[in-house]
Amino acid sequence: MTSTASPDSQFRTAVVPAAGLGTRFLPATKTVPKELLPVVDTPGIELIAEEATEAGAGRLAIVTSERKVGVMAHFADDPVLEGTLEDRGKDILLHKVRRAPGLIEVVDVRQDEPLGLGHAVAQVESVLDADEQAVAVLLPDDLVLPFGILRRMSAVRAERGGSVLCAFEVSPEEVSSYGVFKVEDTDDPAVKKVLGMVEKPAAEDAPSNLAAAGRYVLDRAIFDALRRITPG
Ligand code: UTP
């Protein structure tokens, strides 16, 4: 199926890598995928789908493994549950249950082995239309609020081309927990040119105070780059 998206967006497909093992939240994630853990009463993946929809995506490609089938199930209709809620007049709950399936077209992309984030993203190329020049990637561990940053990133790509990565400022005590960008100024104080990135540097080795925030607008050239490296 050809994907649709809002005309001013640089991407139509939003990618959510969700095939990791989720070891940090064990034992909760032994049987419950991390992406289904709730933020108040809503699974994280539903908030991600909402963000992607608001950013203009027409399709959500969720990278899953055999262990993560429940993530896709959250976006499927449930006629028995919906029928019961309808019969009982539980309209508010019915609306909540129908929300995820109605948000966006969702595509399941399989990563058979957890060979890393790059390898997970690489699997999505097979479902893209030939004319899709960029994709958005949303890491479901990071909630970026308020929504709107992906639209801003799309505008930066429209103006300057290439891939656009989201960064936020962290203190020197925090840099060692993040991927930290080496950057150069541009004519816009909110936009930096990325020269490199250091994963979890010591405070004294950090090239800046700008940490990666799990939102990317990636040029299609990323798939060629991923083919040139060894997954792991
Ligand atoms: P993380 O490094 O946070 O991995 O991956 P993880 O397995 O989910 O978490 P921990 O560290 O074991 O708790 C960042 C994102 O990339 C996905 C993860 O699902 C997560 O959303 N990922 C990672 C994949 O899709 N496949 C992989 O092989 C690795």
pLDDT in tens, 42-57: 999 999 999 999 999 9
Q: Please choose, from the candidates 52, 1, 229, 12, the residue with its C-alpha nearest in 3D space to the C-alpha of residue 134.
A: 12
> Which tokens in the block code for residue 72?
């896709």
Q: Best substitution site from 72, 111, 117 to test ligand 1's pocket, by max atoms within 8 Å of Cβ?
A: 117
How far apart CA 83 and CA 58 sit, in angstroms, is: 28
Confidence at residue 230, expressed as pLDDT on a 0 to 100 scale: 86
The residue type at 144 = V
In the three-class reduction of DSSP (H, G, I as helix; E, B as strand; rest coil), residue 155 is classed as helix
How far apart CA 5 and CA 181 sit, in angstroms, is: 30
Confidence at residue 5, expressed as pLDDT on a 0 to 100 scale: 60
What are the φ/ψ torsions at residue 72 (nearest 5 degrees)? -70, -35
> Which tokens in the block code for residue 199?
């994963």
β-strand partners of 217: 136, 164
Q: Give the number of the atom of ligand 1 that is nearest the alpha carbon of residue 26.
A: 13
Q: Ligand 1 centre from 125 Cα, in Å?
A: 19
Q: Ligand 1 centre from 120 Cα, in Å?
A: 9
Q: With a threshold of 0.85, does the pTM exceed it?
A: yes
Mean pLDDT of 108-115: 95
Q: Give the number of the atom of ligand 1 that is nearest the alpha carbon of residue 64.
A: 25
